[in-house]
Structure 1
């Protein structure tokens, strides 16, 4: 019995030591988001159509009537999302995720569907549930193309 009690205390001590060490390794604080002046400009017709497609009848309540949300989305579309052709990444799957991995952002519009082809003029990146708030940048491959979505961190 004493041996079991001794093992239990040793295990609890090891767990508490590990927990204390994990908590003491602090992450660097996030930098404040800096917005470029281009977020002050009104939405373009293309940006508005992308937002309408994703937010449907909730667009006014969840975006247009919320100045900070609108500013964040303009910043995302205008400054943080880049679509680049990078054939050197194709096949190097540990460096990126696919749009299928991300899934659809269809919380407000259940009619959204995955794109079956890529057209740079009509591709709506907002349709996808991409990691836009994490630390660091993210890369997603667009379908089976050489094009990739690069999402830059907002804390640069």
Structure 2
């Protein structure tokens, strides 16, 4: 009986080790598809948003890099959705915006807006997980607004 158990475990181990040597295909990373609007020039408002967050480093880290600029345009134009929720049971969903830290890597004295305005909201100011494979939602404190960050892979 003991010899059978040893043989079984040995067979199982050999099978496991040989399987570990078999090449496997890694799941491919989804390609990012941009809407055609990212090829349009920056608007005055978008340029202001980039400069607000990147300050004197805007050219060096965003504006002088076409692919990075395309990614930022995609965030500003296509991936951040602000919705007002009229049904109170849905307005409680998501992390509070006040709990999301500011992106102060380039402009140390960046501050939150005193009053939320969906027309002037700058999503680049926040450390949202823009490069996640999943969408996320954030509740704007004291309002019925939610901010949805769509995945770049959707």
Task: Compute the TM-score of the two structures, normalised by the length of structure 2.
Answer: 0.77
Cα 1:149–1:28 shift into 2, 3 Å = farther
SS in 2 for 1:121: coil
What residue is the counterpart of 2:74 in the other structure? 75
Which residue in the other structure is 2:91 paired with? 90
Report the Cα offset of residue 30 of structure 1: 3.1
Residue 117 of structure 1 deviates from its aligned partner by: 1.0
Structure 1 residue 35: deviation in Å? 0.7
| 3-state SS of paired residue (2:32) | coil
- In 1, the alpha carbon distance for the partners of 2:142 and 2:123 equals 16
Give the aligned partner of residue 146 of structure 1.
144
> Would you say 1:104 and 2:109 are equivalent positions?
no
SS in 2 for 1:51: helix
Structure 1: stretches of 5+ with no match in the other structure: 1-16, 18-25
Aligned residues: 129
Gapped regions of structure 2 (runs ≥ 5): 1-15, 17-24
CA drift of 1:131 comes to 1.0
Give matches, 1:1-156, under 5 Å. Answer: 29-88=28-87, 89-92=90-93, 96-156=94-154
TM-score by length of 1: 0.76
Q: How far did 1:79 drift?
A: 0.9
* Worse-superposed segment, 41-50 or 122-131: 122-131
Counterpart secondary structure, 2:142: coil
Task: Identify the structure with the greater helix proportion.
Answer: 1
